[in-house]
Amino acid sequence: MNSLERVLAALQNQPADRPAFFINASLYGSKLTGVGLEEHYTQAHLYAEGQMAIRETFSPDLLISPFFVPAIGEAFGSRVSQRKQQAPNISVYAAASAEAALKLPLPDVDSHPRLVYLRETIRILAKAYAGEVPIFGVLVSPSDIPPLVIGLEAWLDALLFQPEVAQALLDRLTPFFVDLGKAMLSDGATGLALTANLANGFIVTDAVAETLTLPTLKRALAELPGPVILHHGGCPLVDQLARFKGLPNVVAYVLDVDEDLGRARQNLGPGPIVMGNLNGPGLLNHTPDEIQALCDRAFTQKGDDRQFILATCSADIQLDTPPECLAAITEAVCRAGGVEA
């Protein structure tokens, strides 16, 4: 089986030669290519070469466009700055409040340099791996865009104390989100991976989630002509699955670190894929043997559930993670499937 067939098997609850797996190695690709981070996050072909190196070295079953969502904030006018050991992050926001953000022009998904960069990585990877490896475009849901444009504090102020302004901003941002998602799919992305932190009860109150962010998310997802992976985005997800279950086009859920895969299945019911539950940034704290044990624990937890993809959660795998730690994941899935690594 190739990776696309393996992932489709998980989606269709069919047997596969081995469990499919995903590693969030968006940043780590630069370690394998030796490309500086500034080039890695500005030149699409260099980023794509990083993902290809990840594929060649570790054989993950899904590849992704840059895990670099501050690029979306930059498209609205926020300033990002390059960090020494991580993806660029926002240093100055485009606006100070939700009201001010309402006056910002919507970025053009076809011409803004950073958005063009994100999309070009998808085109290159989709062409290289057509019919072989699923490529996912990374973005954020409409309610997670304002923290990249005005900051989380200003966005919480609007959601909590000015709900009508918050709704107006969500209504304004949703067409941009849909345009970007559609563009990524037309570029060749197999699907989209996104966070919805501001619809998670860990971050916002039930009232905010139920009246503002979740209804917006449902409307936006319904307009996307492709499958979606909902990523936990740093928040616990298992206890929120009742809320997120059944969202339009969502075919998989990435859990938080160490969250119980069996409980996730109970909460979701049959149908969507459960992904998890390895600590991506924390891999560097473990020996390869320990990582294989964590993979085995995940396989035990998921039992005979075929709708499962072993995945690193949380943020990027860190640059100082030894490659042996990632190879240990490959070895664990191959051993679980009885195939050669």
Partner 1 sequence: MDRNYAQDLLHAIERADRAGAMEIVNAWAEGRSFERVVPELLSPTLEAFGVIWSKGHGGVSLATLYVASKVTEDVLARLLAEAKAKGHTHPSKGPVVLGNVEDDFHPLGRKMVVAFLRTEGWEVLDLGVDVAPAEFVDQAEACGAKVIGASAMMYTTAKNVTRIRDEIDRRGLTGRLQLAVGGAVFKLRPELVAQLGADGTAASAVEASALFEGLWKKAVAAEGALRKVPS
Query: Which residues of this protein are in contact with partner 1, per CB under 8 A?
Result: 83-86, 89-91, 151-153, 156, 159-161, 201-208, 234, 236, 257, 279, 281-282, 285, 314-315, 318
- Secondary structure (H, E, C), 82-113: CCCCCCCEEEECCCCCHHHHCCCCCCCCCCCH
Which residues, 6+ apart, have CB-to-CB distance to 300 below 8 Å? none
- Report, in Å, the least distance between residue 266 CB and partner 1: 18
Q: CB-wise, 106 or 207, nearer to partner 1?
A: 207
Q: CB-wise, 149 or 251, nearer to partner 1?
A: 149
Rounded Cα gap, residues 6 and 341, in angstroms: 15
Per-residue DSSP letter, 209: I
Tokens linked to 323: 């490659």
Tokens linked to 149: 């444009």
- Report, in Å, the least distance between residue 205 CB and partner 1: 5
- Report, in Å, the least distance between residue 306 CB and partner 1: 30
Q: CB-wise, 207 or 222, nearer to partner 1?
A: 207
Q: Which amino acid is at 284?
A: L
Q: CB-wise, 23 or 44, nearer to partner 1?
A: 23
- Report, in Å, the least distance between residue 270 CB and partner 1: 28
Alpha helices in the chain (DSSP H): 3-11, 29-33, 37-40, 44-58, 70-75, 98-101, 113-128, 146-149, 152-161, 163-186, 206-208, 214-222, 241-244, 261-268, 288-302, 323-337
Q: CB-wise, 1 or 100, nearer to partner 1?
A: 100
- Report, in Å, the least distance between residue 83 CB and partner 1: 6
- Report, in Å, the least distance between residue 218 CB and partner 1: 20
Q: CB-wise, 267 or 318, nearer to partner 1?
A: 318
Rounded Cα gap, residues 337 and 106, in angstroms: 47
